[in-house]
Structure 1
Amino acid sequence: MNDKVIGILGGMGPEATADLFIKIIKATKVNSDQDHFRVIIDNNPKIPDRTKYILGLGENPVQALIQTGRNLEKSGVDIACIPCITAHYFIEEVQSNLKIPILNCLEQTNKYIKQNYPNIKTIGVLSTTGTINIKLFEKYIKNINLIYPDKNIQKYNVMEAIYGEKGIKSGNIDKYPLNLLLQASEQLIKNGAEILISGCTEINLVLKTSHISIPLLDPMQILADDIIKS
């Protein structure tokens, strides 16, 4: 019986939050509804944008993250997770203000890479510019060459696919953001990436392993698989 209560500190963005919930459901082996984990979601899209703050263009999201986490605590969750990779920049400060543990998707992704790709030398990362600037993946993935799109591709392809008027955060998960991300992926593959990481939760709503010639790791899938085992 799966009696653990899982909390999702969500809203960053709402569709990525829903996607993680679906991943948790599908990762759980069940024979009936009652076999599923109870999952409590605080879908709080009012949390200030993490990338804008990191780039010096917006409000600090930490207090909103903490308050949302406390809502989950009050609801009785046993373990929580955050469906926003850039928000993991703040995870230590948020965790220090909460009693419930937060499973860190970047730590879990690092473990997954070591277990499944022990000989990998170069990984391409598709992520927000904020995540790149704070070297968030470098904090957790050591002794591997991490490469990113060049500045123009990052701005006009990756960030446009995520934040653009016809981007994923505007509710579009069609060919427009996909084609932008495919161009960025092709550049990383050309530059030697042996695997890619979907380093923003919006990206994995559009870009799938079947679209590219090398493996694509989804930290949110890794997180979903791990949180049901924790």
Structure 2
Amino acid sequence: MTNSLLKPAVQQTPGRFGLIGGVGPDASSDLYMRVVAEYQSRLDGAYPDVVMHSIPLPAELEQAFVRGHFDTTEESEVDRLLTQSLDVLEASGATCVGLACNTLHTYLRPLVRDRDVTLLDMVEAALGRLRDSGYRRVLLLATAATVRSGLYSERAAEFGVEIVAPDEAGQHVVQTAIMDLLRFANPDEPAAAMREYAAALPADIDAVLYGCTDLTALRDHDIFPVPVVDSLSCLTDACVDYLSQDVTATASA
């Protein structure tokens, strides 16, 4: 005889979130913890269904994409690693996938198109947040690879947003901060350097976008005179929105 106390009051059918990790392990861990906390706050302490695959990324390859100096061989290796991770996650039953790295969305998007999983796109989530918050002229702080790729600038107009890139000196400050944070350095030093850069922020900028998840470590530092939107928190909300939709719909049926 089955103990009725062990049966859930409502049959829940949440999706399974496949997290591609290992590309910025600190950011991947942060995303997981944020998703868990936000899911619990929305669903009475329940835990989400999450599986993670950590990509075995060589250090030199990580540094190459942060600096934006990929060659054809390195791009092929990135495709291979992402494909391997998607295979693992899809085989595990993941219904959606996410990646705590803006830069690699350029390579991830085409790899997901023909798969039976939903990509929770961090760039789309961040642009949506900017639009909904009423920010129109936004300074993008990200890796050189992300800035050059047009990940944000090419789609910004769809969301009524104008993306502004730092000048060469500003990009150097941002790039140095990212590399320091990647080494798990104390964020106080990168924050101080960024604060000097922020002092010369153009007057027509009404928000700053952290378009690199490693910059999330600076979220508790008061750096800019305008609001800061963190792409990782935008992805968190997109993940929890997706994962909780089936549970909420079932509970209200």
1:66 equivalent in alignment to 2:83: yes
* Superposition map of 1:129-140 within 5 A: 129-140=144-155
Classify the secondary structure of the residue corresponding to 1:59: helix
Contact 1:149 1:184 in 2 (8 A): no
Moved over 3 A (4+): 184-187, 207-211
Q: What corresponds to 2:32 in structure 1? A: 21
Q: Deviations over 1:166-220 (max 9, x none)?
A: x011111421111122233333x33521100001000011244743321111111
Q: What code does the residue aligned with 1:40 have?
A: V
Higher relative contact order (CA 8 A, sep 6+): 2
Q: Deviations over 1:104-131 (max 9, x none)?
A: 11112222222221xx331111101111
Q: What corresponds to 2:182 in structure 1? A: 169
TM-score under structure 2 length normalisation: 0.79
Q: CA deviation at 1:221?
A: 0.7
Q: Deviations over 1:136-180 (max 9, x none)?
A: 11122114332222212212x1111112xxx01111142111112
Classify the secondary structure of the residue corresponding to 1:139: helix
1:226 equivalent in alignment to 2:238: yes
> Structure 1 173/98 Cα, relative in aligned 2: closer, same or farther at 3 Å?
farther
More helix by share: 2
Classify the secondary structure of the residue corresponding to 1:160: helix
Contact 2:20 2:97 in 1 (8 A): yes
Classify the secondary structure of the residue corresponding to 1:65: helix
Q: What corresponds to 1:195 in structure 2? A: 207
Q: CA deviation at 1:68?
A: 0.8
User: Which protein shows a greater Rg?
Assistant: 2
In 2: Cα distance, 1:184 partner to 1:11 partner = 30
Q: 2:109 aligns with which of 71, 80, 92?
A: 92
Contact 1:123 1:195 in 2 (8 A): yes
**Structure 1 unaligned runs (5+)?**
none
TM-score under structure 1 length normalisation: 0.86
Instruction: State the percentage of identical aligned residues.
Output: 18
Classify the secondary structure of the residue corresponding to 1:91: helix
Q: 1:112 aligns with which of 104, 129, 136?
A: 129
Q: What code does the residue aligned with 2:155 have?
A: Y
Q: What code does the residue aligned with 1:174 have?
A: P
In 1: Cα distance, 2:162 partner to 2:169 partner = 21
> Structure 1 180/95 Cα, relative in aligned 2: closer, same or farther at 3 Å?
same
Farther-moved stretch of structure 1 (135-144 vs 7-16): 135-144
In 1: Cα distance, 2:53 partner to 2:104 partner = 15
In 1: Cα distance, 2:27 partner to 2:66 partner = 18
Classify the secondary structure of the residue corresponding to 2:110: helix
Farther-moved stretch of structure 1 (208-217 vs 46-55): 46-55
